Amino acid sequence: MGAAFRGTGSLTYGAIRAARNLAVTSLIAAGPAQADGVTIAALGDSLTQGYGLPAEDGFVPQLKAWLRDQGAQVEIINAGVSGDTTAGGLSRVGWTLTPEVDAMILALGGNDLLRGIDPEVSRANLDGILQAAEAAAVPVLMIGLDAPGNYGPQYEAAFEGMYPALADAHDAALIPDFFAPLTAETPDAAARRRFMQADGIHPSADGVEVIVEGLGPRILEWLDDLAR
């Protein structure tokens, strides 16, 4: 964290991040006259990409619309790739963090979970992504997932525990579970099917709406924190 940022002479990462946060502050506060606002890259898998949905009904478009309705001047780049694992995210984070990106939402791990990949491998990949964000002085909000119990309690604990551990290690914001708003809306698993697509894995447009309404306030709070 205190190491010199590559290519910036004597400036430290902390100084660069402070300068970037000052820019984010100005953009958030700029109001309707500011055309571009804060640019967020949403690095993720099919949940981010909007698998099975019309483009306007996916997570990124609905989140952008929700945030703008709250007065936030944001642009969100959809860097979600269906089927992507944490390893895939690590392989493309470098070209995702382009100079115009001010912040990043990191939502990966679902496909690692489906494939039963060792959580230590997933954790190392996510750690690499967070290191890349630190090198670019881009603040990150991580969105985790709850693991089912079919891989055993040790796997479940390791998978779920990697998100808060990495958030703490890299000073990243954290939302523990992408699907928490759906669980809160309908605790009964059978009843939640009305918010899911036929595959039972991906949310429907209505499901995405519930998720965005649940996660949106925390994401808006994160943006406000960056502006302080």
The pLDDT tens digits of the residues spanning 134-185 come to 999 999 999 999 999 999 999 999 999 999 999 999 999 999 999 999 999 8
Catalytic residues: 46, 199, 202
- Our measurement of the distance from residue 134's CA atom to the centroid of its chain's CA atoms, rounded to an integer in Å, reads 15
Indicate if the pLDDT at residue 203 is higher than 90. yes
In terms of DSSP bridges, do strands 103-107 and 38-44 run parallel, antiparallel, or are they unpaired?
parallel
- β pairing state of 140-143 and 103-107: parallel
Which of helix, strand or coil describes residue 125? helix
pLDDT in tens, 56-75: 999 999 999 999 999 999 99
Percent of the chain with pLDDT over 70: 84
**Residue 194, CA distances (Å) to 58, 129, 182, 205, 207 in order:** 16, 34, 10, 10, 8
Domain boundaries, the chain: 13-226
Taking the chain, what is the end-to-end CA distance rounded to the nearest angstrom? Answer: 20
Q: Which of 132, 122, 117 is nearest to 172 (CA)?
A: 132
Residues 33 and 51: their CA atoms lie apart, in Å, by: 33
pTM metric for this prediction: 0.84
In this predicted model, what pLDDT tens digit does every residue of 99-129 receive, in sequence order?
Answer: 999 999 999 999 999 999 999 999 999 999 9
- Looking at domain 13-226, its CATH class is alpha beta
